[in-house]
């Protein structure tokens, strides 16, 4: 299948930053989302079965009460599974992780408990009358492939890209500053969203047009000087300054080599 047909099948979502720089995300298609849901449904059913089996053993003297409790337990496990994992794993469940999918906000940043709770609490409506027919139709007619829960929570489901850390991040030519404890400690205090923006810009900078690239790193360079309370060295460009901060956020090559290898995932073209 060609990249063009992939884009046509899955669609794309574009986020425009305040600096008028575009970031493009590949939306997950109905088929991949269905497979992810199917795997999650099997896990929920197995978990519910285990809980109900334990309850039935503990309440053998009250069979009627145990039966009435079964439906409540199923919904609690189902909702708790989706809300808990999507909050803890930044928009992923086991099924989404296997299928390399992730739930993010429409603005392009990670979701929190509020968004995970909203999109999962609407699942009973999306499932009507069976097999997510309502949710599937809503996703088909929605420009961003959103089911009703996503529309309410302001979220989208995208294909996750796995990009390698460029070797340039570890060879910035400023080893002295990278070895400065004050600089490194201030970089480590950056917020999670700031880290995501910096690393995303460093990893995807080659995808940007030159004008957009200059605008993005100019804004990041100014913002980083304020966030770190440090002036940018005069001989560094805004892009090199940002890459230097990104280099301080990732472990050095020697440390990365000691980390356990994770299963590789195919990179998706944004």
Q: Which residues face 64 on adjacent strands?
A: none
Whether 215 and 234 have beta carbons less than 8 Å apart is answered as no
Q: Is the pLDDT of residue 8 over 80?
A: no
Q: Is 93 exposed, middle or buried (0-12, 13-18, 19+ CB in 10 A)?
A: buried
HSE-up of residue 87 (Cα within 13 Å, Cβ side):
15
Taking alpha carbons only, the member of 43, 13, 19 closest to residue 103 is 13
Q: Is the pLDDT of residue 166 over 70?
A: no
Q: Please give the Cα distance from 115 to 155 (Å, whole number).
A: 7
Q: Please give the Cα distance from 126 to 119 (Å, whole number).
A: 10
DSSP annotation of 158: E
Taking alpha carbons only, the member of 97, 89, 106 closest to residue 27 is 106
How confident is the model over 94-151, as pLDDT tens digits? 999 999 999 999 988 889 999 999 999 999 999 999 889 999 999 999 989 999 999 9
| pTM score of the predicted model | 0.65
Q: Please give the Cα distance from 103 to 89 (Å, whole number).
A: 10
Taking alpha carbons only, the member of 24, 25, 3, 45 closest to residue 100 is 25
* CA angle (225 as vertex; 224, 228 as ends), nearest 5: 75
Compute CA distances 137 → 29, 30, 103, 229, whole Å: 13, 10, 19, 50
Direct distance between the N- and C-terminal alpha carbons of the chain, in angstroms, rounded to an integer: 15
SS3 16: strand
SS3 263: coil
Torsion angles phi and psi, residue 265, rounded to 5: -120, 145
Whether 186 and 248 have beta carbons less than 8 Å apart is answered as no
Q: Please give the Cα distance from 82 to 121 (Å, whole number).
A: 9
Q: Is 186 exposed, middle or buried (0-12, 13-18, 19+ CB in 10 A)?
A: middle
pLDDT of residue 68: 72
Q: Please give the Cα distance from 238 to 178 (Å, whole number).
A: 16
Whether 101 and 36 have beta carbons less than 8 Å apart is answered as yes
How confident is the model over 60-71, as pLDDT tens digits? 766 667 677 777
- Beta-carbon contacts of residue 123 (< 8 Å; ≥ 6 apart): 78, 79, 82, 135, 149
How confident is the model over 169-225, as pLDDT tens digits? 544 445 567 778 888 899 999 988 888 889 888 888 877 778 888 888 889 989 998
pLDDT of residue 12: 85
Instruction: Identify which has the larger pLDDT, 58 or 34.
Output: 34
């Amino acid at each position: 299948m060609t990249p063009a047909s992939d884009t046509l099948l899955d669609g794309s979502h574009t986020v425009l930053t305040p600096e008028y720089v575009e970031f493009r995300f590949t939306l997950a298609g109905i088929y991949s989302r269905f497979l992810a849901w199917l795997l999650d449904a099997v896990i929920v059913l197995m978990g519910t079965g285990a809980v109900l089996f334990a309850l039935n053993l503990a309440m053998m003297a009250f069979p009627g009460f145990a039966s009435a409790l079964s439906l409540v337990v199923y919904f609690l496990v189902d909702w708790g599974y989706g809300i808990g994992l999507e909050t803890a794993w930044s928009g992923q469940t086991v099924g989404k992780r296997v299928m390399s999918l992730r739930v993010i906000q429409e603005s392009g940043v990670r979701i929190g408990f509020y968004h995970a709770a909203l999109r999962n609490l609407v699942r009973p409506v999306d499932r009507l009358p069976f097999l997510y027919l309502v949710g599937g139709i809503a996703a088909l007619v929605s420009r961003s492939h959103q089911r009703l829960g996503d529309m309410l929570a302001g979220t989208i489901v995208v294909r996750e890209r796995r990009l390698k850390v460029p070797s340039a991040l570890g060879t910035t030519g400023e080893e002295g500053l990278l070895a400065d404890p004050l600089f490194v400690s201030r970089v480590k205090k950056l917020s999670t969203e700031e880290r995501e923006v910096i690393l995303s810009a460093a990893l995807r900078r080659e995808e940007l047009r030159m004008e957009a690239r200059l605008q993005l790193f100019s804004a990041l360079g100014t913002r980083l000087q304020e966030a770190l309370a440090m002036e940018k060295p005069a001989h560094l460009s805004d892009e090199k300054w940002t890459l230097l901060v990104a280099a301080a956020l990732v472990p050095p090559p020697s440390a990365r080599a000691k980390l356990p290898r994770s299963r590789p995932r195919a990179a998706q073209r944004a």
